[in-house]
Structure 1
Amino acid sequence: MNYLFSIAMGFLQGVAEFLPISSSGHLTLFQYFFSPEQNPEELDMLFTILLHFGTLISVCVYYWRDIIDMIREFFLGISDLFSRRGSHEGRPPEARRLVLMIIVGTLPLFAVLLVKDTVDAAFSNVTFVSAALIATGFLLFFSDRMAKGRKTARTATILDALLVGCAQAVGTLPGISRAGSTISAGMLCGFDRTFAVRFSFLLSLPAVLGANILEIADAVQAGGVDMSRLPMYIVGMVVAGVVGYFAIRLVNLLANKGKFGAFAYYCWAVGIVSLVASFLV
């Protein structure tokens, strides 16, 4: 590994994490074709942790108002629960409903823990990743053709949150876009396009944080961190965070205009090319 490779991986993570093209799939393919000497286990268990942490920070920066409101309402909700009173008449505040929806939407990820070894093994299967990218292309192609919904945090149901959470669980597979699957699932549930994007990215926070904690534990068990490469890893993380912030802005713009389908052709092209190349390399 060198700094150029680290910067390239950071840029790729920042773009692909939020654009509906699967960051995990692109990182796997990039490593397979451009850095085959890199140990896949080492990359997945260490460098990927920092890359995802960089994009996690970009979500926190972009949606910092939502996050502050949700933290405040979380503790106010607990206070109301223990005091056996409701501080609000009728429906709870939007931020408090978002907290509940995110908790419910995160639950399906616990099922992924039961098949974690199978999911991890898929990262080294280029054929699977290529096929998954092609499948993501079909998902995006049909998402733009869904009727525009009107649901927001005030009108979406717990069942809606659970269905989007199931889509996120499927999105843990390399090549299946987490953003693409959750945003498309939100649109299918009738979410307003802007809210579908917002909920998708806020839902990613506990998912990415939890995954990083698990990967850190695995990295420690595997022999710890190579401190000589830490500066390169940090450079990649910073690049991922900066690029990720602007990628979030782009996704919101494209969602409002209903242009997700354009990424379908990209996913099909990358999937088909990588599938063919995997048999030739």
Structure 2
Amino acid sequence: MDRATLVAVVAGVLQGIFEWLPISSEGNITVFLTALGSTPAAAVQFSLFLHAGTAISAAVYYRDELRSVLAGLPSWRPREAFADGHATLTFLAVATLASGVVGIAAYATLETAVSALTGGAFVAVVGVLLVATGVLLRVAGDGERDSRRPPSDGTGFGTRDDPDLLDAVLVGSLQGLAILPGVSRSGTTTSALLFRGHDGPSSFRLSFLLSIPAALGAGVLTLADGGVPGVAPAAGAVALATAAVVGYLTIDALMRVVERVPFWGVCVGLGALAMLGGAALAI
């Protein structure tokens, strides 16, 4: 196996695992590729491209759920957008639209920011964003514990069954911002849903369902913007297939782990290491 194929396989494995955790798969894969000598711009493009692989994983894993949601299309009406039986469908549609608007704007900003950063400085910025995500997860974790009792103090924490319009716009916008490396898509969207009063399992379910159109969009956006520089088509295909297979095999087990392990600490730890590594590279 040549070096390019080996790197593609490792990157695909990392994407297949990290995508389901509330830590930034894009940020960590970008750090990994940059450490191996890729330019920041190429590393970001490759990590965005790999999201299409885990989008396939999520679509296959949630195929029954998606089939049920899409079955409601013929009877969907704007007046009953968030009514029983249509809430998830409307949430996914509105949140995907918000993700697209915010994500395209963030992508344009990302290109400008990445072109101004090199080596260690870029890795350090990713580390700062990872630490910020970890802090958000820690605060949201406190909120999740509060959500087990009815809201009595005006905090807004509680247990809710269906998402509403504010959930869709808020979560969709945050997912659009997660195109920035180091900002965890699952971490920020799940945290927002926890803050809004949804329980843990519901928050992860909505977050992962929403990841499907967003991840496919990230892959398409990368290809439309000139492809993945410095990556041969064969290596790209290997990485994509690896991400899809590993993602499918690990999603169930990792969702169970996420419910038990404080991944905010993992996120902060990885961010701190990235900051230290970036500082070392910059010297």
Provide the TM-score with structure 2 as the length reference: 0.81
CA distance in 1, matches of 2:82, 2:90: 13
- Equivalent residue for 2:160? 151
1:138 corresponds to which letter in structure 2?
A: V
Per-residue deviation, 1:184: 0.8
Equivalent in 184, 187, 194 of residue 187 of structure 1: 194
Alignment of 1:230-269 (within 5 A): 230-257=233-260, 259=261, 262-269=262-269
CA distance in 2, matches of 1:140, 1:115: 22
Per-residue deviation, 1:242: 2.2
- Indicate how the Cα distance of structure 1 residues 122 and 66 shifts in structure 2: closer, same or farther if over 3 A, else same: farther
- Indicate how the Cα distance of structure 1 residues 130 and 236 shifts in structure 2: closer, same or farther if over 3 A, else same: same
What SS does structure 2 have at the residue aligned with 1:18? Answer: coil
- Equivalent residue for 1:131? 128
Alignment of 1:106-121 (within 5 A): 106-109=96-99, 110-121=101-112
CA contact 2:26–2:48 (8 Å) conserved in 1: no
CA RMSD of aligned residues (A): 2.6
Question: Percent of aligned positions with the same letter in both sequences?
Answer: 31
Deviations 1:107-159 (A, max 9, x none): 33203323422223455522211100111111122222112342223xx3211
Q: Which runs of 4+ in 1 moved over 6 A?
A: none
CA distance in 2, matches of 1:265, 1:98: 31
Per-residue deviation, 1:185: 0.6
Per-residue deviation, 1:11: 0.9
CA contact 1:194–1:255 (8 Å) conserved in 2: no
- Equivalent residue for 1:6? 8
CA distance in 1, matches of 2:10, 2:142: 33
CA distance in 2, matches of 1:170, 1:190: 22
2:63 corresponds to which letter in structure 1?
A: W
Structure 1 unmatched runs, 5+: none
CA distance in 2, matches of 1:252, 1:212: 23
- Equivalent residue for 2:21? 19
What SS does structure 2 have at the residue aligned with 1:107? Answer: helix
CA contact 1:134–1:268 (8 Å) conserved in 2: yes
Provide the TM-score with structure 1 as the length reference: 0.82
- Indicate how the Cα distance of structure 1 residues 50 and 275 shifts in structure 2: closer, same or farther if over 3 A, else same: closer
CA contact 2:24–2:183 (8 Å) conserved in 1: yes
CA distance in 2, matches of 1:43, 1:119: 12
- Equivalent residue for 1:167? 174
Q: Give the count of matched residue pairs.
A: 260
Structure 2 unmatched runs, 5+: 148-157
- Indicate how the Cα distance of structure 1 residues 137 and 42 shifts in structure 2: closer, same or farther if over 3 A, else same: closer
